[in-house]
């Protein structure tokens, strides 16, 4: 269920990133905040194998947007699309990093606690 919700959040973030670049969104809607929230939710779907690709996307999109900005008539909008997608991808990366830190901490605590059963299992042996 979490995968479906995260996938839907990713889809909505992508559509919003594109639409917000070409259509005037009312000032009452904070597009950046919505993209960050959707990105945080979408990050729940990412597996550790995709982390490097995700971080490369976060680093490359501003450069791609800057290059696209040089295209006459539509460059500014393409740059906005790249920046919007980069915002959502950075939020996804934040979730992936937070989950990785949580898993590492959980594993460290489990290793520190020792084998299952602890002192009670050692005493009965």
Q: The pTM is what?
A: 0.83
What pLDDT band is residue 48 in, cutting at 50, 70 and 90? confident
By CB atoms closer than 10 A (0-12, 13-18, 19+), residue 18 is middle
> Do the beta carbons of residue 46 and residue 89 sit within 8 Å?
no
Q: How far apart are CA 33 and CA 23, in angstroms?
A: 17
Q: What is the pLDDT of residue 70?
A: 94
For the chain, the distance separating the N- and C-terminal CA atoms, rounded to the nearest angstrom, is 43
Q: What is the pLDDT of residue 112?
A: 82
Q: How far apart are CA 18 and CA 42, in angstroms?
A: 17
Q: What is the pLDDT of residue 95?
A: 95
Residue extents of the structural domains in the chain: 2-114
Q: How many residues does the chain have?
A: 125
């Amino acid at each position: 269920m979490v995968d479906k919700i995260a996938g839907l959040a990713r889809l909505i973030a992508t559509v919003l990133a594109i639409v917000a670049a070409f259509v005037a969104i009312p000032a009452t809607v904070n597009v950046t905040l919505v993209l960050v929230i959707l990105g945080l939710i979408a990050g729940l779907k990412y597996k550790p194998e995709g982390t490097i690709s995700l971080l490369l996307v976060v680093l490359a999109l501003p450069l791609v947007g800057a290059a696209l900005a040089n295209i006459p008539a539509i460059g500014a909008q393409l740059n906005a699309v790249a920046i919007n997608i980069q915002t959502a991808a950075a939020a996804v990366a934040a979730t992936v990093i937070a989950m990785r830190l949580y898993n590492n901490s959980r594993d460290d605590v489990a290793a520190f606690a020792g084998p299952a059963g602890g002192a009670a299992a050692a005493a009965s042996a």
